[in-house]
């Protein structure tokens, strides 16, 4: 297998990384529940044994207490089973994705049909990723369903992410705060600012609505715990409490910023960033990396000629197939660098026609044959002019 195919899937890490991170979340939940359950159960049993031996509990009391413990344990077991179902589903996703990546290894080379099929699937994935990240969730879902790649993309995750983003844009912090609570440990580890910023926003909003007492209580409860890391911001926010009127404050740029409506889009952006880094998602859609690389690799000066070639190229030339020359990609490739070529790259049998156009001799012959031209005649595939074969001259490309 050619070496380079082995590298191809390097950027598909998030394909496997995401289910893993989601799985880890499930496991963390399971472990936390278990830690609590373990301590509680151990203590209950110890306690019951003691009460039995001290005579505080009769046999009947113990039976009752054991019934309660059993019920509690069963309840816990149900929780574990729910988590196990989630875990199983994620394992399933993981398996399908690994199989998808394995398919790449089965392609004998880049020219094989199987690689083309695989690459098409990859593009579908990249498109769904792009669409979902830009909030076009309906299109994303439809495309994923139509192409049968629902298990290879993480639409549910994008949907819940979009819901929270939307709620922030609609000026509500509640949904995002719930998310923060769910991911408390991970956020703390990352030293994320998100929760503080949300709390600050809530505080500012209370002030905006002149709810002084509530604001004070809110600050005590939710801002004060952050004093080690955000002392200055808290002090500044506290300034709001001292000011008698809002218009007075608005003269100061830092207070104006606190009251600004732009803070909501800032919060939404911060949330997305935090969310993505928490789940090991790339900061942008993968197609933003793949596409420019591809455009540059294909872009040559011939794609931007001063006089455009005729649109319907002949069957013997590739020109009309060039993706950079296609109207939809041309503007995207415009400012990207050109491909680098150290040597000329063309057919090995170039000849020049009297009109100064250079073609492959063999291609000219096969075109003449296909067109059924009279013996000894050839046709310029671009201009349609006919020439005698004797007018054709060999050209040497070093």
Residues 217-236 that bind other proteins (CB under 8 A): none
Residue 101 CB, nearest distance to other proteins (Å)?
Answer: 6
Residue in 150, 186, 243, 339 binding other proteins, rule: CB under 8 A: 339
324 binds other proteins (CB under 8 A): yes
129 binds other proteins (CB under 8 A): no
Give the list of residues 6+ apart from residue 28 with CB closer than 8 angstroms, or none: 185
Neighbours of 233 (CB within 10 A): 18
Q: How far is the CB of 163 from other proteins (least distance, A)?
A: 16
Q: For residue 6, give every residue at least 6 positions away whose Cβ sits within 8 Å of its Cβ, in sequence order, or none.
A: 105
What gap in Å lies between CA 361 and CA 153, rounded to an integer? 49
Site string for other proteins, 358-377 (x = CB under 8 A): x-------xx-xxxx-----
Indicate the burial class of 100 (C-beta count within 10 angstroms; 0-12, 13-18, 19 or more): buried
**Residue whose structure tokens are 């098409």:** 120
Question: Is the CB of 147 or the CB of 226 nearer to other proteins?
Answer: 147
Minimum CB separation from other proteins for residue 168, in Å? 20
Q: Which tokens belong to 372?
A: 């059924």
**Pattern 132-171, other proteins, x by CB under 8 A:** --x-x-xx--xx--x-------------------------
Question: Taking every pair of C-alpha atoms in the chain, what is the biggest distance, in angstroms?
Answer: 119
Contact between 106 and other proteins by CB under 8 A: the answer reads no
> Using the rule CB under 8 A, which residue among 228, 242, 321, 348 binds other proteins?
321
Q: Is 346 left (phi over 0), alpha (psi -120 to 50) or beta?
A: beta
CA distances from 218 to 27, 199, 214, 355 (A): 33, 8, 6, 83
| Position among 1, 36, 108, 120 found at the interface with other proteins (CB under 8 A) | 120
* Interface residue with other proteins, options 222, 264, 266, 288 (CB under 8 A): 288
Contact region with other proteins (CB under 8 A), list: 74-82, 173-181, 206-214, 246-254:
74-82
Closer residue to other proteins in complex, CB, 26/267: 26
Nearer to other proteins, 224 or 346 (CB): 346
C-alpha to C-alpha distance for 218 and 237, rounded to whole angstroms? 12
Please check whether residue 246 is in contact with residue 259, taking contact to mean a CB–CB distance below 8 angstroms: yes
């Amino acid at each position: 297998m050619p070496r380079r195919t082995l590298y191809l899937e390097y950027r598909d890490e998030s394909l496997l990384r995401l289910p893993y991170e989601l799985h880890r979340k499930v496991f963390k939940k399971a472990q936390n529940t278990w830690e609590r359950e373990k301590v509680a159960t151990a203590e209950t049993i110890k306690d019951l044994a003691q009460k039995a031996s001290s005579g505080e509990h009769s046999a009947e009391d113990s039976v009752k207490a054991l019934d309660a413990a059993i019920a509690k344990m069963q309840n816990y077991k149900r929780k574990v089973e729910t988590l196990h179902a989630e875990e199983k589903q994620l394992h399933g996703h993981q398996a399908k994705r690994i199989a998808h990546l394995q398919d790449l290894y089965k392609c004998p080379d880049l020219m094989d049909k199987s690689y083309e099929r695989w690459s098409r699937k990859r593009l579908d994935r990249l498109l769904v990723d792009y669409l979902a990240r830009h909030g076009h969730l309906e299109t994303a879902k439809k495309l994923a369903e139509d192409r049968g790649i629902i298990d290879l993309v993480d639409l549910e995750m994008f949907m819940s992410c979009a819901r929270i983003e939307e709620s922030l844009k609609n000026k509500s912090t509640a949904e995002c705060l719930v998310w923060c609570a769910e991911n408390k440990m991970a956020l703390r580890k990352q030293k994320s600012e998100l929760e503080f910023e949300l709390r600050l926003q809530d505080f500012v909003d209370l002030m905006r609505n002149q709810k002084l007492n509530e604001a004070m209580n809110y600050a005590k409860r939710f801002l004060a715990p952050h004093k080690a890391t955000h002392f200055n911001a808290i002090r500044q926010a506290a300034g709001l409490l001292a000011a008698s009127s809002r218009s007075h404050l608005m003269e100061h740029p830092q207070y104006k910023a606190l009251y600004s409506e732009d803070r909501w889009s800032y919060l939404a952006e911060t949330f997305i960033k935090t969310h993505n880094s928490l789940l090991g998602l790339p900061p942008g859609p993968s197609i933003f990396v793949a596409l420019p690389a591809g455009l540059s690799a294909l872009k040559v000066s011939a794609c931007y000629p001063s006089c455009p070639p005729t649109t319907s190229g002949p069957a013997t030339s590739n020109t009309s197939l060039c993706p950079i020359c296609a109207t939809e990609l041309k503007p995207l490739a415009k400012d990207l660098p050109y491909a680098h070529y150290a040597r000329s790259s063309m057919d090995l049998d170039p000849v020049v026609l009297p009109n100064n156009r250079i073609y492959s001799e063999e291609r000219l012959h096969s075109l003449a044959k296909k067109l059924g031209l009279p013996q000894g005649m050839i046709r310029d595939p671009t201009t349609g002019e006919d020439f005698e074969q004797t007018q054709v001259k060999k050209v040497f490309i070093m």
